[in-house]
Chain A
């Protein structure tokens, strides 16, 4: 596997960083505040990285990434409350529900351009928000659904970290493979992609399902961690946050998305004292990043590095 060898360094780095995060739990003597913060940050990383596959690589602008997570979480919650099956089965059912929700937004928009996909993804989020608020008896309305704790915080913390590392590594391998090339060609020019033999609906669907797979698993992890899922998961803010984190971190690299998701999730938590200004600061940050480095922090770093390298090469030629 050539791709595996080429990505070895980044895989090792991802594993080291994840292990570093994992040991912070015993180091902090299992401080629940820290564990909670890190778990939530890892979940955001998974959401943003999955979003990047759709938006950064395939060019399908998704304004409703958390739809997948929400549907999966609600499905697991409903089963936990009403039909307690063996837990792996319930998680599997939640995952399948999440994947089905991805078909809901991708199937109608496979043959249309990005803007329509963005609209459908956004509309579907609103639809599900409405559904959870309307059928109160089933979905609990504003209160959502809650269950008593079934997994310890520590278990979920480690699971989430493993899931995050797996997501980043697998996504990275996917985007460097044939599939990734197909996705990027679709982003660049659908007509040309068709002309060289790429089956566009198939690859768009594939991107959607892969993205939903990891987002759903993260949604289920988040549900078990909180013991709760509410309609806010279908709210605008959550899915917009994913977009903002992705854009600030840098799209189309996976690592940029991971960086944006992780750092901003932690930042968001520490901005809690200035809650009223949080969104304002966030928006300002977005504007500044878009103006200074339109390809996000990661993209900016990469192009800075390339420029420096070119400069050095030129100096080498001159001397």
Chain B
């Protein structure tokens, strides 16, 4: 199971627009990978293709040795691949506890063992994302920062092996970013594989050991944060010449 997630020559076209062009990379179990690129580079599209929300126009996604390119998101979730959304999408009329509990209920391995009263596991997740005091509030009443945390909590409900996080830092303050980073580090230390799309590079680079750069739907670089920050193509395409002069 070394080759945990394989993206094989994935293309995605919207009409004539090629949103993804021949994307290929492999993620090993336990890795923490950053996925970056300018606006419109295709990061979220790639997320949607991997998690089954979109079907690839061609190419394959292989997860745990199984071709999952044609499977719907709920099947992938059952297999242990869970995503979060950039803009939080909570179950607003349900409590914070239930938002997380729902995920725990639909994992086949835990299904018969778990039921709604099995709050201990949910409490542990909520404690991890610092939402335990808000447990019984309706998710719709949470503030933005807490909603971002709830996305992380809800994603842990279904016992994932691979988490795909779509801009977990978006819209957060510096200190909030710090605490989300800590949470993510904790998850990675627990053996979870993470793929993180993010615009806040400084925070991301501190978190990941490997970065993949997309630009206009193509993969232009793949390496450690240090390598990436020296990469000429990346500097030109993404960070801009000014930045490269002062820092590289």
Contact = CB atoms under 8 A, between A and B. Distances in A.
The answer to whether A and B assemble together is: yes
Interface in A1-44: 2-3
A176 B116 contact: yes
Given A192-B154, A194-B72, A181 B90 contact: no
A181 B105 contact: yes
Contact of A198 (B84, B89, B106, B116): B106
Interface string B14-37: 000000000000000000000000
Contacts of B93: 184, 187-188, 252
Interface residues of B, number: 32
Contacts of B115: 2-3, 178
B102 interface: yes
Contact of A189 (B74, B91, B103, B158): B91
A185 B102 contact: yes
Interface size class of A (residues with CB under 8 A): 20 to 34
A181 B73 contact: no
B116 A192 contact: no
B27 to A, nearest CB: 19
A182 interface: yes
Nearest to B154: A196
A195 B85 CA distance: 9
Given A181-B101, A188-B91, A196 B116 contact: no
A189 B94 contact: no
A2 B119 CA distance: 12
A178 B105 contact: yes
B77 A181 contact: no
Contacts of B168: none
Contacts of B154: 192, 196
B82 A196 contact: yes
B97 to A, nearest CB: 11
Contacts of A192: 85, 89-91, 154
B85 A196 contact: no
A197 B90 contact: no
Nearest to B139: A188
Q: What's the dominant secondary structure at chain A's contact region?
A: helix
B235 to A, nearest CB: 35
B175 interface: no
A189 B139 CA distance: 12
Interface string B96-131: 001001110111000100011100000000000000
A185 B94 contact: yes
B181 to A, nearest CB: 23
A185 B91 contact: yes
Contacts of A142: none
Contacts of B236: none
B154 to A, nearest CB: 6
A246 to B, nearest CB: 16
A269 interface: no
A290 interface: no
Nearest to B78: A197
Nearest to B84: A195
Contacts of B90: 188-189, 192
B83 interface: yes
B157 interface: yes
A177 B98 CA distance: 12
A15 B238 CA distance: 68
A177 B107 CA distance: 15
Interface in B134-164: 154-155, 157-158
Contacts of B117: 2
A252 B94 CA distance: 11
Contacts of B243: none
A182 B98 CA distance: 11
Interface of B: 51, 53, 72-74, 77-78, 82-85, 89-94, 98, 101-103, 105-107, 111, 115-117, 154-155, 157-158
24 contacts: A2-B117, A178-B105, A178-B111, A181-B105, A182-B102, A182-B105, A182-B106, A184-B98, A188-B92, A191-B53, A191-B89, A192-B89, A194-B74, A195-B51, A195-B85, A196-B77, A196-B102, A196-B155, A197-B73, A197-B74, A197-B82, A197-B106, A197-B107, A198-B74
Closest 7 interchain pairs by CB? A197-B77, A188-B91, A196-B103, A197-B106, A194-B73, A2-B117, A192-B89
Given A193-B102, A195-B83, A196-B154, 18 more contacts: A2-B116, A3-B115, A178-B111, A181-B101, A182-B106, A184-B94, A185-B91, A187-B93, A188-B90, A188-B92, A188-B93, A189-B89, A189-B91, A191-B85, A192-B85, A194-B53, A196-B82, A197-B74
